[in-house]
Every structure is written in structure tokens, then in C-alpha cells.
A = this chain, B = another copy of it.
Amino acid sequence: VSKSRLEAFSDGVFAVAITLLVFNIVVPNASNGHLRQALLDEWPAFASYAVSFVTIGIIWVNHHGTLERIRLVDRPLLFINLFLLMTVAFLPFPTSLLSHYIESGDAKVAAFVYACTMTAMAVAFNAIWIYAIWRGLLDVDRIDMQKLHAAIPRFGAGLLVYVVAIGFSQVSPKLDLALFAVVSLYYVFEQQVDLLPEEPQSSVSTSSSTDRS
């Protein structure tokens, strides 16, 4: 099974989903002279747009880093990946739901759906790693297994944050959105470098390295 076509399809879904998020922001129907205020009142749409956009962006960056370290894609992995794509493609709905209801009495319901989708995304992403480790699909030349095992608690902590966010959605929907913003910013600056080794063979091999197209 070709990894490059899996990447191409996944990139396609990521690209479409991240771009469709803009439909979350609707042109307000403001009476004359009130557009500025109408746009400011739409702040939940802009905020949830930004959080969802950066989240999908991070998932893309990390998905890319993950597939780089997988040497073989089998059929179950295709479907675990499809489940990840389903959560990503679904995200425009809870984003829109949260935008509409964050200032209403139903904000907690909307935030709950949003937090569950984010958690499902994180679970699907971790499932790719767990399955790849279990079935020995990792490229051992591109990964330091010792560092990987040492990082497992950190992976678990990441998931814990999402579970906390689900509970937190029932306390304060607005702070819950802020929490997801913080998490996404954390992942922007988290380097993954101490988890995964630099690839020495990519700089050393000069003659026969034409097989990485």
C-alpha cells in the first residue's frame, strides 16, 4: 500500500476541512452604520475559527511527522487514519455550533460537542501511533525507540488534558475555548525534537539516495 497516496488523500481532506472553516463566519445582516458592532459581536465565530484552524494545522504538521516515521501502511492503519480524517472533516460542524451558542443558555451543550470532537481527534491520532508500535510498522532508522517509550507518559498527559477539557466544558464554555487555544499554542511551540532523532542518513547518503522522491 502506497504511503504517498495516503499522504495525498489526507492532505486533501486536511486542506479542504481547514478551508471550509471560513463558512463558520457569516456575513452579518447589519442595518446601516452597525456593521462594525455586528462584526465585533461575531467574536465567537472568529475565535473558534482561529482555534479550529490552528488545531487542524497542528494535526497536519504532526500527521506529516508521524507518517515520515512509518515504514509500511497496512489496511487497518488506512482505516484508523480514515477515522482521524473523519474527526477532522467533522470539525467545521462543532466549530459552527460553538460559535452560534457560546453566548446562549445552551453554551455547555455546544462546548461539550466541540470538546468531544477535539478529544476524538486526539484519540485517533494516538491510535495511529499505538497501532504502528504494536504492529512494528515504525521505521526504526527514523525513530529512537528509547526516547519514544520515555515519551509515552507525555502522550498520556496530552490525552488527559482533552478529557479535562470535556469536563471543563460544563463549567465555562468560554474558558474551554481558551483552553483549546492554549493547547494549540503549546503544540505550535512543542518541538517533538527530543522525541524523534535527527535523521543522519539524509545528510550522509549522497550517491544512492534517489529513492526518496
Contacts and interface: CB of A to CB of B under 8 A. Distances in A.
B1 A35 contact: no
A145 interface: no
Given A16-B15, A18-B13, A79-B188, A35 B5 contact: no
A106 interface: yes
9 contacts: A1-B68, A2-B68, A4-B213, A9-B64, A16-B20, A22-B89, A22-B90, A22-B93, A33-B106
B27 A191 contact: no
Interface string A1-44: 11011011101111111111110010100101111100100000
Contacts of A54: 82, 86
Contact of A12 (B14, B32, B82, B85): B14
A60 to B, nearest CB: 6
Nearest to A68: B2
B64 A5 contact: yes
Contact of A18 (B36, B89, B100, B104): B89
Contact of A2 (B21, B35, B64): B64
A36 B109 contact: yes
A110 B35 contact: yes
Contacts of A53: 86, 89
What interface size band does chain A fall in? Answer: 35 or more
A57 interface: yes
Contacts of A90: 22, 49
A54 to B, nearest CB: 7
Nearest to A100: B27
Contacts of A211: 209-210
A15 B18 contact: no
A101 interface: yes
Contacts of A78: 61
A109 B16 contact: no
Nearest to A91: B22
B17 A19 contact: yes
Interface in A156-213: 188, 191-192, 209-211, 213
